């Protein structure tokens, strides 16, 4: 790292010590203490992309004023316990079952923004048929899939979205199509189903992608509010622990391996 421009000639760089006081002549432009997230300790690993993705979801809810009329249906995975830190109503589903649980909640409370948060192991391995059926039924819910290509909570094992060559605990030499099969592109699957209102794939590996993903979240909830059917947003997240890479290399690893198979972008939108 170059440090030339920020220090005096050969001196120890002067640090602007983080202050707990709000600068009097400054305006807050980004507050990571999002109003719906109780900041503080959470148990997710250093460099995990899931809190970033969930924050994007919470920001989208806040922006559209849906916090007081929503139900978050969580699946089982690393992000499950993080639901503890959220100030929205949480309905916990079993592994794989979030879309059907959300269906029951949404049909019983049609005015609410009911959404699911699942990992790729939960949504695409354990319960793939659930989201496909919910999409085909045109359930007016939003489904988020946090895709890191591994079962993070069990310690980094192969999922159906694991990309070719990706190392996991049970594909230590990298996923080999001949031995371990091919990765499934879940957003593409959903985009081909009549009954969906919006399908997109975002990522949280850099600030630009985070901003883009937030827009996708807003569009997905907007489609839900307009009654356009099921909205699906897949969010690529870093899992340095499960990928066996340093935290600082995870964003590039996501870009070069995961996103090369699972392309970021809006795949389908019924929004006007």
Other residues' Cβ atoms within 10 Å of the Cβ of residue 116: 30
Q: Which of residues 141-180 bind other proteins (CB under 8 A)?
A: none
Does 263 sit near other proteins (CB under 8 A)?
no
Pick the closer one to other proteins by CB: 172 or 207.
207
By rule CB under 8 A, what string of x and - marks binding of each residue 28-47 to other proteins?
xxxxxxxxxxxxxxxxxxxx
**Which one, 40 or 272, has the nearer CB to other proteins?**
40
The residues, any chain, with a CB within 8 Å of residue 191's CB and separated by 6 or more, are 199, 267, 268
Residue 27 to residues 22, 30, 85, 211, Cα–Cα distance (Å): 9, 9, 27, 20
Among 130, 153, 219, 234, binds other proteins (CB under 8 A): 130
The pair of structure tokens assigned to 61 is: 């809810």
Where on the phi/psi map is residue 202: left (φ > 0), alpha (ψ -120 to 50), or beta? beta
Q: C-alpha angle 87/92/97, rounded to 5°?
A: 140
Pairing of β 70-74 and β 89-92 = parallel
Tokens encoding 96: 């794989």
Residues 175-214 interacting with other proteins (rule: CB under 8 A): 204-207, 210-211
Count of positions on this chain that bind other proteins (CB under 8 A): 99
Applying CB under 8 A, the span of 23-31, 191-199, 220-228, 255-263 interacting with other proteins comes to: 23-31
Looking at the Cβ atoms of 108 and 172, the one nearer to other proteins is 108
Of 131, 78, 72, nearest to 100 (Cα)?
Answer: 131
Query: Looking at 60, 75, 77, 106, which residue binds other proteins (CB under 8 A)?
Result: 106
Query: Would you say 99 or 183 has its CB closer to other proteins?
Result: 99
Distance CA 251, CA 249 (A): 6
The reply to whether 267 sits near other proteins by the rule CB under 8 A is: no
We find the least distance from the C-beta atom of residue 210 to other proteins, in angstroms, to be 4
Which of the 8 DSSP states describes residue 264?
Answer: -
Give me 4's structure tokens: 């030339």
The reply to whether 129 sits near other proteins by the rule CB under 8 A is yes
- For other proteins, the binding residues in 46-105 under the rule CB under 8 A are 46-52, 55, 67-71, 73, 80-81, 83-94, 96-97, 99-105
Task: Give the separation between CA 199 and CA 235, rounded to whole angstroms.
Answer: 11
Q: How far is the CB of 83 from other proteins (least distance, A)?
A: 8
Torsion over CA: 165, 156, 114, 42 (sign):
negative
Piece in contact with other proteins (CB under 8 A), picked from 15-23, 152-160, 184-192, 217-225: 15-23
User: Quick one: which segment of 126-134, 182-190, 223-231, 257-265 binds other proteins (CB under 8 A)?
Assistant: 126-134
Q: Which is nearer to other proteins, 26 or 172 (CB)?
A: 26
> How many C-beta atoms surround the C-beta of residue 178 within 10 A?
6
> Closest CB to other proteins among 53 and 267?
53
């Amino acid at each position: 790292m170059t440090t030339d421009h920020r220090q005096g000639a050969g001196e120890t760089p002067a640090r602007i010590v983080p202050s707990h006081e709000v600068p009097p002549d400054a305006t807050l432009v980004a507050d990571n203490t999002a109003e719906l997230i109780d900041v503080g300790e959470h148990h997710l690993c250093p460099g995990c992309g899931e809190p970033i993705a969930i924050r994007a979801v919470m920001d989208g809810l806040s922006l559209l004023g849906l916090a007081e009329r929503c139900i978050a249906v969580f699946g089982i995975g690393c992000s499950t316990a993080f639901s503890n830190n959220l100030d929205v109503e949480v309905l916990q589903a079993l592994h794989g079952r979030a879309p059907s649980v959300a269906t029951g909640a949404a049909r019983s409370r049609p005015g609410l923004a009911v959404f699911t948060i699942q990992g790729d192991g939960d949504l695409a391995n354990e319960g793939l048929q659930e989201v496909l059926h919910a999409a085909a039924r045109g359930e007016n819910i939003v489904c988020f899939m946090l895709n890191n290509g591994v079962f993070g909570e069990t310690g980094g094992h192969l999922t159906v979205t694991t990309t070719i060559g990706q190392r996991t605990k049970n594909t230590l030499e990298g996923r080999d199509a001949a031995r371990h099969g091919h990765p499934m592109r879940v957003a593409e699957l959903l985009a081909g189903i009549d009954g969906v209102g919006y399908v997109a794939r975002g990522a949280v590996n850099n600030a630009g992608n985070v901003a883009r993903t937030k827009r996708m979240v807003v569009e997905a909830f907007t489609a839900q509010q307009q009654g356009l059917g099921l909205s699906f947003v897949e969010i690529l997240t870093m899992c340095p622990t499960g990928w066996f890479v340093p935290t600082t290399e995870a964003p590039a690893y996501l870009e070069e391996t995961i996103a090369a198979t699972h392309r970021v972008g809006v795949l389908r939108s019924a929004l006007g």
